[in-house]
Amino acid sequence: MGKGLLIVISGPSGVGKGTICGSLREAAPEITYSVSATTRKPREGEKDGVNYFFKTREQFESMIRNDALLEWAEYVGNYYGTPRDFVEQTLNQGKDVILEIEVQGALKVKEKFPQGIFIFVMPPSLDELRVRINNRGTESEESIRARMHVASQEIQLLKHYDYAVVNDRVELARQRIQSIITAEHCRRERFLADLQKWHVEV
């Protein structure tokens, strides 16, 4: 049994990353979803190790010092990050791990885990992205403009990713990501290291 794949899915806010990952979770329940660490307090019904790894500020800062996080950020007074141990232990068990994350976080992960599979979710167009954000009904016009400005900058970072998937329809986007995962499992590099067990000279 080989190692699993770390599949990093990111893209601009409002592009539908969460919806795609929800569809993927239903279609491929064998895939493990990365659990983040945070210093915020648990909400009602949340469980440690399931929703988040809940840490004290001191514990989280110790993880930062010990390079125990693939990426981290501070937001509204609380830390959030991706624990390296959880990801690596799951991959070593031969299980694929999906990490749904914002663009800047994904690029931090790539610095520490370049062997991951990095997928950028694209909107069909910037105009469609604006419509989707506007349809949420939670953003002011000023906030929408700010989000669109950030989105246009993030799309320019596509060159750092392995794949681009257009989210024109959730089901199709999910199928494209599943096809990418299948293809990555079939890469020759994943088999070369095991050929010696077959007594084949490489």
Same domain, 186 and 121: yes
Distance from C-alpha of 113 to C-alpha of 5, rounded to nearest angstrom:
11
Q: What is the pLDDT of residues 12-63, one digit of tens each?
A: 988 999 899 999 999 999 999 998 999 999 988 889 988 899 999 999 999 9
Same-domain pairing of 148 and 184: yes
Containing H/E element for 97?
Answer: strand 97-100
Give how many domains the chain has, as a whole number.
2
Confidence of residue 189 (pLDDT cuts 50, 70, 90): confident
- Taking the model in full, what pTM does it have? 0.86
Of 25, 38, 31, 49, nearest to 117 by C-alpha is 31
Total residues belonging to the chain: 202
- With cut-offs at 50, 70 and 90, classify the pLDDT of residue 142: confident
Instruction: Look at residue 191 in the predicted model and tell me its pLDDT.
Output: 81
Nearest-angstrom CA–CA distance, 13 and 130:
10
Q: How far is Cα 82 from Cα 101, in angstroms, rounded to an integer? A: 10
Domain that holds residue 148: 1-31+96-202
